[in-house]
Amino acid sequence: MLQIYNTLTKQKAPFKPLVEGHINMYVCGITVYDYCHIGHARVMVCFDVITRYLRSRGWNVNYVRNITDVDDKIIRRANENNETVEQLTERMIAAMHEDEDALSVLRPDQEPKATAHIDEIIALVSTLIEKDFAYPAANGDVYYRVEKFAEYGKLTNQNIDELRSGSRVAIDEAKESPLDFVLWKAVKPGEVSWESPWGAGRPGWHIECSAMSKCCLGDTFDIHGGGPDLPFPHHENEIAQSEAANGCAYANYWMHAGPVRVNSEKMSKSLDNFFTIRDVLGKYNPEVVRFFLARVHYRSYIDYSEESLKEARVMLERFYQSLNGMAGYEYSKEDADQVNISDFEQRFNAAMDDDFNTPKAVSVLFEMVNELNKLKKSSEAGAAAMAHKIAELGGIIGLLQQDPDAFLKGDDKEGEVDASAIEALIQQRTAAKGSKDYAESDRIRDVLAAQGVILKDSREGTSWFREG
């Protein structure tokens, strides 16, 4: 049975969908004012793995991930660039999709934009005003009355009295309470805006997700996910808005990905340890980056470092080295049964059913690699069956779908010897061995090894791969 850790209840429990066999999931997406960074990649990959696995087990998943395409940062950046908000956001959305495609992140079923749901946002704010959970202020903004929602703080165990005592209000503050947050912002000079019953303006960040999730999934849905920085105040405010307006539970399960740290420090531009996805992909194979992100449990923090990525490369190489050359072999169901493939598959699924425990699932895949290497010496058909299942289970989490030989040879990077030069040196080495010039043969092997190219001799000839 699938077990999920629920941030709301602070415990792991069996998953029970609203509709048998169906899962409606909403994940807070990107604010598209800049290129996506490695923290965004973590959330993308986490929920992609979760979605892939659920579908592999027969669930009908409706995965919604929004795009925030209007907010303060976007407006400020567009002005700095001397371009429109739409020009900036469309460019950044295209870049985000490029990054996702490189990381083999499947597109969500729905990808609503905030600017396409202004009518729904205005309707939701109007409902909150009608129910006295919100009020228009003298400055033209509309605010949510936090203290009227009795359960405010339930997601993150925030005490409203402590929140109030820790807040400060400026003398000219238009809010009734320091805790109140904005639902609709009055337009300022040079800003994009829409007409509303309270004057021209634009939505606050929190109300956007409440409106978009309601539009795509209804008043109550199964899973709400997001990054580590969202539980407070963003998700807390979403709950307050949606449950006050709709009069029912918002999301039944809350899931949050863990943070990315850089050499054990918080990632920050001010610390000069901030990496965009494309920065990282310029140095590492995209599958290495995906494996690095996916092999750590989604709720755990992950430490980004050159050493961690090199380790991920070495681990992935081990998979592909074992799978290399296995595609052409045939096998039967009986061959698979004889090598206990079903036992490995059951343990893989059991790990993933336990709150998507990818570290344990990956460890099962490594056990299968060990078994594959043994079977290569005793059972060609059994080895083929094991290799097929390794690739199949790896595919469930978006891994091991490349041609092994192509992965091991890799793309030519700046500063690396290119593939044609490697092949030429291998031919020279083969000729040297043919003439029994073993000193020259060893010299060429050492030259390539010094450049991270490892040779592997067999009856069929010499193959090679790049060392991580």
- Cβ count near 10 (within 10 Å): 9
Q: Where are the alpha helices (DSSP H) in 222-295?
A: 236-246, 277-281, 286-294
Is 46 annotated as contributing to ligand binding?
Answer: no
Q: Where are the alpha helices (DSSP H) in 72-204?
A: 72-81, 85-102, 118-130, 160-165
Closest CA to 27 of 14, 15, 43: 43
Is 238 annotated as contributing to ligand binding?
Answer: yes
Is 97 annotated as contributing to ligand binding?
Answer: no
Own/partner long-range contacts of 119-124 (Cβ < 8 Å, ≥24 apart): 120/211, 120/212, 120/214, 120/215, 121/184, 121/203, 121/207, 121/208, 121/211, 122/184, 122/194, 122/196, 122/197, 123/211, 124/207, 124/210, 124/211, 124/214, 124/241, 124/245
Is 248 annotated as contributing to ligand binding?
Answer: no
Q: Where are the alpha helices (DSSP H) in 6-37?
A: none
Distance in angstroms (rounded) separating the CA atoms of residues 262 and 282: 18
Distance in angstroms (rounded) separating the CA atoms of residues 8 and 236: 10
Closest CA to 130 of 140, 141, 122, 138: 122
Residues that constitute the known binding site for ATP: 269
Q: Which residues are known binding-site members for Zn(2+)? A: 28, 209, 234, 238
Binding-site sequence positions: 28, 209, 234, 238, 269
